[in-house]
Amino acid sequence: MILGICDGHNSSASLIDEKEIIYAASEERFTRKKNFRGYPANSIDYGINSFVSEKDELSAITVGGQFRKGERLKKLKILQENLEIPMYYFNHHLCHAASYKLSDFKECLILTMDGGGDGLSSTVSIGNGSKIETIAQSDLIDSVGDFYASITELLGFKPMEDEGKVMSLSSFESDDSKINLDIIDYNEKTKSFKNYLGVIGSESTKALKRILDYSTPNKSYDIQISKFVQSKLEEVVLKLLKQFVEETGIKNIVFSGGVAQNVKLNKQIIEQDFVDNLYVPPFTGDEGLSIGSSILCSKHDFDLKNTYLGYEIDNCNVEKIVDLEKNFKVQYIEENDISESVGKLISENKLVCVSREKMEFGPRALGNRSILGLPTNENAKKLAKTLKRNSFMPYAPTILDEYSESYLKNKKYSPYMTMLFDCFESKKSEIEGTVHVDGTTRAQTLKKEFNGTFYNTINFLNDATQIPAVLNTSFNLHGEPIVCNEIDAINSFKKVGDYLLLGNYLIEKLD
């Protein structure tokens, strides 16, 4: 068994054994600090205490990222001394690239792209069997991810966290003229990106503020700038991919790193004639480095069945907590009755928070740490107000896979919400609360084998409403990490939702 660690941005820990990922969790879920940076002590402890029965079951520690100093390095060394096993450090982008082993491609082009890590901001590689051959790189100065993050900061959002807000804004129409500036591009001769600003980080934000003559927030101009950065991102990435597909003849693409969370870009990639297939792993951000580093240390391929890999809700813990609460009505629900009970509440237009079984790993809630409701505009507006979430940010649906072709153009199986689809005009009214202003939706398509209880809940709802879909958003207040344990669920439920399914306990608020 290999213990994987990421101790940087959005730190995490994981455990793999032969061909199986046994456990993975982000430290932010335990500390309740979004995108926690640092040594993932809680994630490590929970994984070892829950899944490692004997010390000698652990054969190695792998660490995502090579460059670190001070306390971070000291803590890793102490862990190694306590466990008395080898520790291996792997390059940041190589760890991102290792996720190609989770795809079913025999050969693929691997694109990794983020703000930066271990001196690089993007790489292109060929994945073939157990080999990764890197064929192009861009350094930290020429970082497309940093360019997008700088625009995010310019618009008053948090860089390295709120890029999704910029992407959402870019879908709105603007009356202003189109911005056309040569700030970043792709150079086919050097096979790398080129940042004409020559600076990154806060210096980049200052330079862009001057160039774009940006002073105070202005909705129309904010949309115009968002459209500019999104268009430029798509332009340069497609230019890079087209060159390498033509040079290698490989049309299966694996895309990882933080930029791969941009689903509008992913949609553009898969729609290109020169691309056959696109695989985006469910944990493309730096949290995935812990798993990626362990994959690099293993000789096996991996079959990822789902991302339910984290903290597991315990009914015994729930019993102790709810006994102390005075303003709740609590009912135990047998496992076989959960889908009908929750489905009925949703059909009655109740918002149901769900926190049960193992927590998902990655940025998306996929039914085990979700808020569920009818996919209506009414619920979307209600949630935006309650969660204090920007009104321009869209919500996502979970649709039963066998019905999804009726709703989604060019439908592909999408269990992890990593893809964006156009919604058929005739179906928009049925799921209007989860369709963005541009007619797209970031849908999870769900098969029964992925999550049987969640599937049966939506199936019950379909029988009642003739709509095989729910609005599915992550169970957390805006700006907080997704809930992890029983106490997190109770605390968040006090501020959002009508009912809470916590383990097997259905909890209702009393007025």
For the chain, the structural domain boundaries read 2-94+299-304, 104-280, 310-509
pLDDT tens for 276-326 read 999 999 999 999 999 999 999 998 888 899 999 999 999 999 999 999 888
CA-CA-CA-CA dihedral for 242, 243, 244, 246, to nearest 10:
80
Q: 200-231: per-residue pLDDT in tens?
A: 999 999 999 999 999 999 999 999 999 999 99
- Which two three-digit tokens encode residue 418? 């990593």
Q: Please write the tens of the pLDDT for every residue from 57-69.
A: 999 999 999 999 8
Q: Which pLDDT score, from 0 to 100, does residue 511 have? A: 74
Q: Cα(189)–Cα(191) distance, rounded to whole angstroms?
A: 5
Strands (E), 300-453: 308-312, 328-332, 352-355, 358-360, 369-373, 397-400, 421-422, 440-441, 444-446
**Residue 280 token pair:** 């985006």
pLDDT of 428 > 90? The answer is yes
Residues 6+ positions from 218 with CB-CB distance below 8 Å:
none
Give the whole-number percent of the chain exceeding pLDDT 90.
95
Q: How confident is the model at residue 150 (pLDDT cuts 50, 70, 90)?
A: very high
Give 104-140 pLDDT, tens digit per residue: 999 999 999 999 999 999 999 999 988 999 999 999 9
Q: What is the mean pLDDT of residues 391-418?
A: 97
Q: What letter represents residue 225's amino acid?
A: I
Same fold, 2-94+299-304 and 104-280: yes
Radius of gyration of the chain (CA): 22
Closest C-alpha among 281, 277, 278 to residue 304: 281
As a whole number, mean pLDDT of residues 136-147 equals: 98
The mean per-residue pLDDT over the stretch 488-509 comes to: 97
**pLDDT, mean over the chain:** 96
pTM, rounded to two decimals: 0.97
Render 118-148 in DSSP notation, one character per residue.
TTEEEEEEEEETTEEEEEEEEESTT-HHHHH
Cβ atoms of residues 209 and 154 within 8 Å:
yes
Of residues 223, 233, 176, 149, the one with CA closest to residue 438: 223
**Per-residue pLDDT for 176 more than 90?**
no
Question: How far is it, in rounded angstroms, from Cα 208 to Cα 228?
Answer: 12
Interacting residues of 255 by C-beta distance below 8 A, sequence separation 6+? 110, 111, 112, 113, 266, 269, 278, 279, 280, 284
Contact status, residue 333 vs residue 506, Cβ threshold 8 Å: yes
Average pLDDT over residues 363-370: 98
Q: What is the pLDDT of residue 303?
A: 86
Place of tokens 């008053």: 156
| CA distances from residue 228 to 154, 213, 269, 420 in whole angstroms, order as listed | 13, 14, 18, 19
In this prediction, residue 266 carries a pLDDT of: 98
CATH tag for 2-94+299-304 (out of 3.20.20.70, 3.40.50.1100, 3.30.420.40, 3.40.50.300): 3.30.420.40
Report pLDDT for 174.
86
- The mean per-residue pLDDT over the stretch 262-282 comes to 98
- Collapsed DSSP state (helix, strand, coil) of residue 46: helix
CA angle 187, 214, 34 (to 5 degrees): 80
CATH architecture for the domain at 104-280: 2-Layer Sandwich (3.30)
Instruction: Return d(Cα 87, Cα 60) in angstroms, integer.
Output: 6
- pLDDT confidence of 178, banded at 50, 70, 90? confident
**Does pLDDT of 431 surpass 80?**
yes
What CATH code is assigned to 310-509?
A: 3.90.870.20
Residue 329: pLDDT over 90: yes
